[in-house]
Amino acid sequence: MPSPEPTVSTTNLAEQLVRLTRRMHRAQKHHLEHLDLAFTPAQSRLLRIVGHYGDTPPRMADLAERLEVVPRAVTTLVDALEDRGAVRRVPDPASRRVIRIELTDTGRSTLRVLRSARRAAAEEILAPLTAEQREVLGGLLSTLVDGPGAAQ
């Protein structure tokens, strides 16, 4: 059975989400301009993901799965971040065939700066909203990102 044609409002919402994402990236980039941190959105996301793993650095396959990309794409991202001193490849103590990716001190510092810029960009974009509107928006976004029931 063919899927129904998108309604004008659905098409409009999709366009608004894309525009909001682009606006967020531009605002974050603006907050980073003076710091000479020209990371791509994909590199920034990879740093955030590696940072979430804590004490056990992720394998390349873990990163590919989280990013929903092929492993080769992760290799390219890791190579670029390794060249910048933000991550390093380390052997897995349990298996010599497994390589894990961990943040360096530079990577942790960079991640703090990126998070700060992201918060500042979000604050700038969300400034016109009241606290109640922000709460509603957060709940709606949680439902869209994580599925029904996630915001509760």
Each residue's pLDDT tens digit, 77-118: 999 999 999 999 999 888 888 999 999 999 999 999 989 988
Domain ranges of the chain: 6-146
Is the CB of residue 119 less than 8 Å from the CB of residue 48? no
Q: What are phi and psi of 88, to 5 degrees?
A: -145, 150
Q: Would you state the structure tokens that stand for residue 82, as one six-digit string?
A: 């390794």
Please check whether residue 33 is in contact with residue 121, taking contact to mean a CB–CB distance below 8 angstroms.
no
Share of the chain above pLDDT 90, in %: 59
CB atoms inside a 10 Å sphere around CB 101: 24
In this prediction, residue 134 carries a pLDDT of 95
Beta-carbon-side half-sphere exposure of residue 148 (alpha carbons within 13 Å): 0
6-146 maps to which CATH number?
1.10.10.10
pLDDT, averaged across the chain: 87
Q: What is the pLDDT of residue 84?
A: 92
pLDDT the model gives residue 10:
80
Q: Which residues contact 62 (CB under 8 A, 6 or more apart)?
A: 53
- Please report the pLDDT score of residue 119 as a whole number: 93
Give the integer Cα–Cα distance in Å for 11 and 22. Answer: 17
Residue 5 burial (C-beta neighbours within 10 Å; 0-12, 13-18, 19+): exposed
Per residue in 3-43, pLDDT (tens digit) is 666 555 888 888 999 999 999 988 988 888 777 666 787 88
pLDDT at 4: 60
